[in-house]
């Protein structure tokens, strides 16, 4: 006989996060921006910081990220998000300020701003979406595009003699004394997405604990501009991007280890 205590109740175990607006996004089918946005919103909900978080949107496909987060938000000029975040955080030190940036934003035009925000140990969190291409403008080569990768502005494949080599931002920033937590994760599988969420949470905790600069680089897909189906695009991330951009922890100061 089934007792009252053993009686099964059909219960919601996963639903749309509060910190994400209940609207359809403009992102392409299978675009991992949707996953990244969702993970950030889940972390904001879990940490209970919706009422004191401010987002800084980039220029890129995520230019309207502020429409999708149910948070106060501002729009930065291309690459300038870490500088805007610096201004915001310095005058609102008890708020949580995060930037959300793509590869053009962070690794091309914004290289000075991200390096110096990390060097200053700005107490902000950066979510870096690395999909090895410029999505919004239609698929041109990015500073993170791989050697040999075909893009709209490297139609014969990226030629390192003309275009040089990709930037590995996590490795570069890990070198900064002001950086407290710099890690690279991926969104190409359920297992990796779960690890990515943990990293995002640790990054926000780093900021909340006042420990310094935090960044989570997320290897992401761009099915439309790569010319793949969404599942094949995730495979491409795993087979081609992960070897060039190894996943792992590049900087984790002792105080952050205690948070994990």
Q: Which range of residues in 77-85, 158-166, 168-176, 249-257 is near another protein by CB under 8 A?
A: 77-85
Establish if 164 lies at the interface with another protein (CB under 8 A).
Answer: no
Q: Provide the mask over 232-251, with x wherever binding to another protein is found by CB under 8 A and - wherever it is not.
A: --x-----------------
Tell which positions 86-105 bind another protein, by CB under 8 A. Answer: 86-92, 95-96
Q: How far is the CB of 140 from another protein (least distance, A)?
A: 21
Q: Which residue has the tokens 């959300």?
A: 100
Binding residues for another protein, total number by CB under 8 A: 72
Q: Considering the complex, state which of residue 162 and residue 190 has its C-beta at the smaller distance from another protein.
A: 190
Q: Which of 80, 168, 185, 251 binds another protein (CB under 8 A)?
A: 80
- Cross-strand bridge partners of residue 128: 101, 217
Q: Which of 61, 62, 85, 107 binds another protein (CB under 8 A)?
A: 85
Q: How far is the CB of 76 from another protein (least distance, A)?
A: 7
Q: Considering the complex, state which of residue 147 and residue 230 has its C-beta at the smaller distance from another protein.
A: 230
Establish if 48 lies at the interface with another protein (CB under 8 A).
Answer: no
Q: Which of 103, 105, 113, 217 binds another protein (CB under 8 A)?
A: 113
CA 161 from centroid of its chain's CA atoms? 30
**Element at 126 (helix H, strand E):** strand 125-130
Name the token pair of 108.
Answer: 């091309």
Computed from CA positions of residues 114, 119, 124, 126, in that sequence, does the dihedral angle turn out positive or negative? positive
Establish if 74 lies at the interface with another protein (CB under 8 A).
Answer: yes
Q: How far apart are CA 103 and CA 145, in angstroms?
A: 9
Q: How far apart are CA 157 and CA 237, in angstroms?
A: 17
- As a residue count, the chain comes to 260
Establish if 162 lies at the interface with another protein (CB under 8 A).
Answer: no
Q: How far is the CB of 2 from another protein (least distance, A)?
A: 9
Establish if 35 lies at the interface with another protein (CB under 8 A).
Answer: yes
Among 166, 172, 114, CA closest to 143 = 166
> Taking CA 27 as the corner, what is the angle to CA 190 and CA 233, rounded to the nearest 5 degrees?
45
Q: Provide the 10 A C-beta neighbour count for residue 237.
A: 25
Q: Which range of residues in 80-88, 143-151, 178-186, 237-245 is near another protein by CB under 8 A?
A: 80-88
Q: Which range of residues in 125-133, 157-165, 222-230, 237-245 is near another protein by CB under 8 A?
A: 222-230
Q: How far apart are CA 126 and CA 81, in angstroms?
A: 9
> Taking CA 124 as the corner, what is the angle to CA 41 and CA 26, rounded to the nearest 5 degrees?
40
């Amino acid at each position: 006989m089934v007792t009252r205590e053993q009686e099964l109740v059909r219960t919601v175990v996963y639903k749309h996060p509060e910190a994400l607006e209940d609207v359809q996004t403009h992102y392409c089918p299978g675009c991992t921006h949707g996953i990244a946005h969702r993970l950030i919103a889940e972390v904001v909900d879990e940490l209970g910081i919706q009422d004191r978080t401010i987002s800084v949107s980039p220029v890129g496909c995520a230019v309207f990220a502020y429409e999708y987060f149910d948070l106060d938000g501002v729009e930065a000029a291309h690459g300038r998000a870490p500088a805007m975040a610096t201004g915001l955080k310095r005058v609102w030190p008890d708020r949580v300020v995060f930037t959300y940036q793509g590869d053009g934003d962070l690794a091309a035009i914004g290289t000075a701003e991200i390096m110096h925000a990390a060097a200053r140990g700005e107490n902000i969190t950066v979510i870096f979406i690395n999909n090895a291409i410029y999505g919004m403008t239609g698929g041109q080569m990015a500073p993170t595009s791989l050697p040999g990768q075909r893009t709209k502005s490297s139609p014969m494949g990226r030629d390192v003699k003309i275009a040089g080599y990709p930037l590995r931002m996590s490795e570069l920033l890990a070198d900064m004394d002001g950086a407290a937590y710099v890690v690279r994760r991926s969104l190409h599988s359920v297992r990796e997405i779960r690890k990515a969420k943990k990293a995002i949470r640790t990054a926000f905790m780093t900021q909340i604990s006042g420990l310094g600069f935090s960044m989570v680089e997320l290897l992401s897909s761009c099915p439309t501009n790569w010319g793949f189906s969404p599942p094949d695009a995730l495979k491409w991330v795993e087979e081609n991007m992960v070897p060039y951009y190894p996943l792992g922890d590049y900087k984790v100061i002792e105080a952050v280890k205690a948070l994990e």
